Amino acid sequence: MLDPTEEIYEYPFRVTDLKQWVYCHRLLYFLVCLPDVRPRTYLMDAGKEAGEGEEGRELRRSLKSYRLVEGRREFNVAVRSSRWGLRGLVDLVVWVDDPPPGEVIPVDFKLSFKSGEHVQMQLMAYGLLLEELSGRPAPRGYLVEIPLRRVVEVPFTPALRRKVEDALQAMKAMLESEQMPEPTSQRMRCLGCEFRRFCNDVV
């Protein structure tokens, strides 16, 4: 087993970093290049607690929510890949054995009312890692929007896969250069950002 320092070197990004990158490139810059400056927020703790509470409800939920008759659930599945430089923890994986070669389905619990593209890309990244781990195809994943008790299917299309792969390449280039990226063009996102005070060029 790798020690923590070696693991971060070989797998420098968490899957959740991809979501931050899509939202604003600078978020990831601050997280990986200045990791000690991030404050802990209420939403971080609330999201963790909500996810833990969802596990009990998930065990009572029919697999029909995932368009399945049979499958095996596994919670908190650790995944990592040196190819992608990623590591992460999938909230739920549904393993489908029949028909061969089977299927692997990542499920992500979200404390949100709407899941945007950045969250879908994070789910797609879990699919890539699970495919590499298991050798099974991951054609889709699901987002469980906890406040609405809603399960949303996300097809893993070729276009979504390319977006994730392109983003990972750009993230790697940013890490290697250690150059702060440009801020997001959607400046409304800056208003509530915990890193805003570090961006001297954002008013």
pLDDT digits (tens, 9 = 90+) for 19-31: 889 888 998 888 8
Residue 115: pLDDT over 90: no
For position 185, what pLDDT does the model report? 86
Name the pLDDT band for 127 (thresholds 50, 70, 90).
very high
**Entry pTM:** 0.84
Name the pLDDT band for 179 (thresholds 50, 70, 90).
confident
Residue 118: pLDDT over 70: yes
* Alpha-carbon gap, residue 98 to 95, rounded angstroms: 10
For position 43, what pLDDT does the model report? 47
Q: Are 144 and 151 in contact (CB under 8 A)?
A: yes
In tens, the pLDDT along 138-169 reads: 999 999 999 888 999 999 999 999 999 999 99
Cα–chain center distance at 116: 12
Q: Which residue has the higher pLDDT, 162 or 1?
A: 162
66: tokens are 């995932």
* Alpha-carbon gap, residue 174 to 168, rounded angstroms: 10
| Cα four-point dihedral sign 74, 115, 174, 202 | negative
